C-alpha cells in the first residue's frame, strides 16, 4: 500500500495545506501501520486489522495520546481511500477510541463566562481592546491564532459576520452576535487609533506598542481577568472556544453547524462536545434528583 500512502501525503500537502511537520508525523504513523498490514490492498483491510494494530501499539507500551494520534491518522487515510474510490468501506468507521484516550475539554458555565466578560482589568483603550477580544472569542469560537491574526477587513460589523482562515488555509464565515459587534465597534471607534499611534497595521487588535498581539500576550490577559473575576484556574483561550461549542449544543444548535463554525474538517472532532453536554446532564441529575 505504499503507493496509496504517497497519494495521501500529496493530498495533505496540496489540498489540505498541511504543514511539513504534520505531514511528517502522518508519514511516520502510517508507514508503521502499513508495515503491519503487509501486502493487503485497501479493500482487504478490515476493522479487526485496525483494532489489532492498536492492540499491538498498546502492547508495545505506546502512550494513550500516541495511540489516539495513530488512530486519527488511520481514519484520515481510510477516508481518503474511500473518497478516491480505491475501496468502498472505511474499516475505521466502527472503531472507537479506547476509554481514556479522549480528554474532555474544560468548559466554563454561562455564569463564569459572564463574570469573565464583565471584569474590567484596565482602563481606556486597553480595556476596550481586551473586552472586544474576549467578546469576539466567545461569540465565534475562534482559535487564538485566528483571533490575533484578524485584519480589519475580515470583520463586517454591519452584517454581523467575520471571515477567518483556519487550518489548511480554509476560509470560513462566522456570525459574531450583537454583543461582540458592539464591543468590536466601540474598540474601532474609540481605541484602535490610540493604540496604533504613528504606526500602520492591517491587524484588527493591537498591542500597547501599536503592533499585532501575540498569542502569549492574550493568554496572559485571560488568566489575569479570570483571577479577578474569581473564575477557576486553568483557563486558557481554548477554554472559551470549548465553552462556545458546548453552550451552543446545550441550547439546541445542531452538530453540523457547530462543526462549520469551529472549522473542524471532520464531524467526529466536534462530537466530543456531545460527551461534554452528556457529562453535565449526568452531574446535574446526580445533584438534583432525589435518587441521583
Catalytic residue among 225, 241, 242, 247, which?
241
Taking only Cα atoms into account, the Rg of the chain, rounded to an integer number of angstroms, comes to: 22
Catalytic residue among 69, 79, 224, 264, which?
264
Catalytic residue among 78, 143, 242, 247, which?
143
Where do the H-state alpha helices sit in the chain?
2-14, 20-37, 47-59, 64-83, 110-117, 124-140, 144-148, 178-190, 192-196, 215-229, 237-250, 255-262, 267-270, 272-288
**208 catalytic, yes or no?**
no
**273 catalytic, yes or no?**
yes
Catalytic residue among 167, 215, 223, 280, which?
167
What angle in degrees, to the nearest 10, is found between the helix axes of 237-250 and 272-288?
A: 70
**78 catalytic, yes or no?**
no
What is the 8-class DSSP label of residue 96? P
Catalytic residue among 33, 53, 187, 273, which?
273
Q: Are 137 and 240 in contact (CB under 8 A)?
A: yes
Is residue 271 helix, strand or coil? coil
**241 catalytic, yes or no?**
yes
Catalytic residue among 32, 79, 238, 280, which?
238
Report how far residue 138's alpha carbon sits from residue 257's, in angstroms, rounded to the nearest whole number: 16
**11 catalytic, yes or no?**
no
Which residues participate in catalysis according to the annotation?
143, 167, 238, 241, 264, 273
Amino acid at each position: 500500500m505504499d503507493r496509496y500512502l504517497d497519494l495521501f501525503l500529496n493530498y495533505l500537502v496540496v489540498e489540505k495545506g498541511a504543514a511539513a511537520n504534520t505531514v511528517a508525523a502522518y508519514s511516520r504513523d502510517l508507514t508503521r501501520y502499513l508495515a503491519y498490514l503487509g501486502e493487503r490492498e485497501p479493500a482487504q483491510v478490515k476493522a479487526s486489522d485496525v483494532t489489532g494494530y492498536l492492540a499491538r501499539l498498546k502492547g508495545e507500551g505506546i502512550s494513550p495520546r500516541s495511540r489516539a494520534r495513530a488512530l486519527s491518522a488511520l481514519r484520515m487515510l481510510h477516508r481518503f481511500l474511500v473518497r478516491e474510490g480505491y475501496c468502498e468501506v472505511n474499516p475505521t468507521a466502527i472503531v472507537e477510541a479506547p476509554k481514556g484516550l479522549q480528554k474532555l475539554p474544560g468548559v466554563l458555565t454561562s455564569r463564569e463566562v459572564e463574570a469573565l466578560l464583565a471584569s474590567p482589568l484596565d482602563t481606556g483603550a486597553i480595556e476596550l481592546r481586551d473586552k472586544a477580544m474576549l467578546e469576539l472569542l466567545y461569540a465565534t469560537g475562534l482559535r487564538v491564532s485566528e483571533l490575533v491574526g484578524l485584519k480589519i477587513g475580515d470583520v463586517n460589523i454591519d452584517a454581523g459576520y467575520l471571515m477567518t482562515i483556519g487550518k489548511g488555509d480554509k476560509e470560513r464565515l462566522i456570525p459574531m452576535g450583537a454583543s461582540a459587534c458592539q464591543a468590536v465597534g466601540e474598540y474601532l471607534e474609540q481605541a484602535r487609533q490610540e493604540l496604533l499611534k504613528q504606526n500602520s497595521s492591517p491587524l484588527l487588535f493591537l498591542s500597547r506598542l501599536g503592533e499585532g498581539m501575540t498569542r502569549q500576550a492574550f493568554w496572559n490577559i485571560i488568566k489575569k481577568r479570570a483571577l479577578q473575576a474569581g473564575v477557576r484556574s486553568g483557563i486558557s483561550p481554548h477554554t472559551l472556544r470549548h465553552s462556545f461549542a458546548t453552550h451552543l449544543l446545550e441550547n439546541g444548535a445542531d452538530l453540523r453547524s457547530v462543526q462549520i463554525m469551529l472549522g473542524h474538517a471532520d464531524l467526529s472532532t466536534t462530537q466530543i462536545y456531545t460527551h461534554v453536554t452528556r457529562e453535565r446532564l449526568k452531574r446535574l441529575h446526580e445533584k438534583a434528583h432525589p435518587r441521583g
